[in-house]
Structure 1
Amino acid sequence: MSKGLARAALTGYRVAGILLYPLAVPYLTYRSWKGKEDRARRAERLGRPSAPRPRGPLVWAHSASVGETLALVPLLRELGRRDIHVLLTTGTVTSAELVRNRLGNEVIHQYVPLDLKFPVKRFISYWRPDACITAESEIWPTTMLELSRRKIPQIRVNARISDRSFDRWRNHEQIAEALFGRMSLVVAQSDVDAERFRDLGAWPVLVSGNLKGDTDPPPCDPAVLDRYRREIGDRKTWAAISTFEGEEKVAAGIHKVLKPRNGQLTIVVPRHPERADGIEEMLKAQGLVVARRSRNDAITPETDIFLGDSMGEMGLYLRLTEVAFVGRSLTGEGGQNPLEPAMLGCAVLSGSQVQNFRDAYANLVRKGAARLVRDVEMLAKAVHYLLSNDLARRKMIDAGQETITEMRGALAVTVKALEPYINPLTVSARLQPKAAAAQ
């Protein structure tokens, strides 16, 4: 594709967005009905603000998922310590809940506007960000073009590109260059990711490591943790976390095979809790006794599966076990973040489809903190081995703690890379007279 055709394609994308704009309200209404949008705050998705813009420098940060939001938390707090206002946008109800629980009033939270011309222009005109920092891998052409038109720096941190996304962008190299070339700075997770961003037209590109290594472990309510530990007693436990469709059935099968030998409790935490009703039906159809966190069910000696179908309580579930299988890796594809279970003292197991967390798994496997399994039979054997072998389990847990310690430092590298953009904002902020918020 020529550069002219690439420009035409991006123009076509923007025009299509203008033509589709009348459908935005029905689209958001439908998503609200499905529970995928916050009904009371739908207008934010059209770029209409629900909070005043404070005086002084403001950085717009965006994270698409819960994992990306968690990775950004230390960086956002660093900006706050430098007296820079932070506007944080997310796209999901789950992420919004996380922001409220973790950051409270430390940031201004809004839902990200749809990548359509009118919502994006309305949003940027109101908030007037001095810079835009996005996490990991999302690309929104209309937003990027509008930020570029207004000469607002676009910075990508903790950046990564999956194998599939990279192949897709390489098939449209001119469009990729027209978009990636507008980034002011990319701070990548790994050398592989950095090289891919450079190949697609981004410059300059630096490597920081994974910001998730600098995050705090997910918290939990000590009283709730103590209650469940008392109910579990001395039973062995293992967890299947961040599971995708099919992996809950795998966990149930492993539970049934191992229960006569271990009498264990199996904790299942689906990546999407809204699937919990269907998962419970499947488990009960197999004759398993299920306790659900969302119902505040007690865990009794007869309970087979503790179904973790609540939001924001991964810290609870991981503290109830020392063996964790991380999903979207066996029947799913791409993997999920293995660093949280390693932080919280779990031996990590996973399928082999972990492309999205390639470097994190490489570090954990190299140290002996994680094991990748080929299939269900191999996973069952690994779970049984770790439940019955205290020394092997403890060695993996210790290796995980060591790996996390070695992986820390990405935040310092990222902040240093951002200094040309944030130092002037800090000076400006500290010269500003303290005043009430104003538009």
Structure 2
Amino acid sequence: MEVSCLVSDILDCIGYNEEIISTRRKYWQNYMRVFNSVQQELSVVVAGSKAEGITSLYESDTDQMLLFNDAICANDIQHLPPVSDFTTLHADTRETPPGYTRLKMISCLGEDSKRFLQESSFKSGSNKFISSSLFLSSIMRETRTTDYCNDIIQIGELSGPAVSRKVMQHLSYDQVVAFPCYCPKILQTWKRRRRLYSWPPVDVREAAASMPAQVVPVGSKLSDDQGREWRFCFILSELELTCSLNETQIKLYILLKMVAKDILKNVSKGISSYMMKNVTFWMSELLPKELFRKENLINLLFLSLVFLKKCVSYSNGLPYYMIPGRNLLAEKLTPDSRQPLCDLIGTLIAEGPRFILLRCNKLRAASGVLISSPTSLKIDGRRRNMIEKLIYLQIILSMNMKDESLISAVVLERMDLLEWEEIVNNCTHEENFALKLEEKISSILS
């Protein structure tokens, strides 16, 4: 219990308390609202840990999905009424692995999506389908020839279906271009699945099952038809689930992400934060809600590691929470990496609760400060949260084209918190000052 409360309190001080998580969620909701109010061709959906509020602006890549506004697909052909000037696609799952689909063209009338779809279509019998690999190639060509990318944004390589982008020195984005998809049968099956306990709550299940899914251009690596398959995603439904987690469940998720990044990736790069989110979902469903209390945090972490070890060792299968038939580990672990990963997880369990303070970088650094100066850890935590809040406020004010004097006041308050005079004294010219300032913000918020 003592270590659980200690770790929980440390997380509060280093950017993971309920207030800052709520602030981040509201910021990204505002960001999407403003962006989508002015954008004609594509709508943006911010995904992953940013939208969930558990990482700061500088802490990791921002995952964005760009959805065509003039196209729609559906798993059930009855949900595709003909609409003028609109592209419609059928998500045909009859010959694909669980969680994947082929996209059959019904109509191609949307002006913005038409060119990409025509460049990536192929015939199968009397039907026309869309190749995920050709679609990705088309998107990549368009991305690399866009004028504004030359100096402002650095374009990276493809990572799965995502194109990486780097803005300035410390902000990175992974962008996926995809299609909205309605698949009520899949979500109704998920909603009606038998559960031992009460998570997710009934109202959350109803809300999650009513939201549109997305199909992204990537196939199963184990499939002979990989380049022609697309994968179902449930970004909005999963966000609804994450936002329904209580404080201890969220902190469990954060700890699992830290374990994956700082420890498990040393022996297997295939263990991702997304897998740890799925582990959190399964643990939340499989355990009674009364267990998810602050004093049980470390015990819950160990139960989660035992669950993950069983998934890796016995079945080599971590079921995708939304479609359990899809194995998240199937494409990620090799026979050579499985046993070392099992051994490492077993070692962590054997080491006991203090491994989390010794092996996870952020917790190790913060626990050292806590021992030497517990008050300063809390003061620094409040300061970092205020700096982060002011950055979000400045961006939103700028996006809404608010009064420059108001924006300047926000910037000035943030600069005071960053102790900018010290940065000025160590800089030789204006460009160097901007770089040093960004480096300092990144070091505080990453």
Same fold flag (TM > 0.5): no
State the TM-score, normalized to the length of structure 1: 0.25
TM-score (ref. length: structure 2): 0.25
